[in-house]
């Protein structure tokens, strides 16, 4: 793997984390393109990240958890 590819991967992860996402998995795939006549390798970066969002109830809303009528919520 090329050092430039790894540096780009780290930069992408830093950008995602700077936006308050928690990176949980990163995959870097390097390959030679079968469609290009060049000998330059290509790379694909897959980043899996998660971020928790506050609901209106968490922000001090008037909704009581006991009054939740969602049939899919586990109580």
On whether the CB atoms of residues 21 and 52 are closer than 8 A, the answer is no
23/14 Cα distance (integer angstroms): 9
CA-based max dimension of the chain: 64
Instruction: Report the mean per-residue pLDDT for the chain.
Output: 84
Domain definitions of the chain by residue range: 3-51
pLDDT tens-digit map of 5-39:
999 999 999 999 999 999 999 999 998 877 776 77
pLDDT of residue 55: 83
On whether the pTM is more than 0.75, the answer is no
pLDDT of residue 12: 96
Mapping DSSP to helix (H, G, I), strand (E, B) and coil, where does residue 3 land?
A: helix
Pick the closest to residue 19 from 55, 57, 46, 53 (CA basis).
53
pLDDT of residue 71: 80
Q: Is the pLDDT of residue 48 over 60?
A: yes
């Amino acid at each position: 793997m090329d050092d430039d590819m790894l540096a780009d991967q780290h930069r992408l992860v830093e950008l995602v984390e700077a936006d308050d996402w928690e990176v949980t998995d990163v995959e870097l795939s390097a390959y030679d393109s079968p469609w290009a006549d060049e000998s330059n390798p290509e790379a694909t970066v897959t980043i899996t990240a998660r971020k928790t969002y506050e609901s209106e109830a968490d922000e001090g809303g008037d909704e009581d958890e006991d009054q939740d009528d969602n049939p899919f919520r586990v109580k």
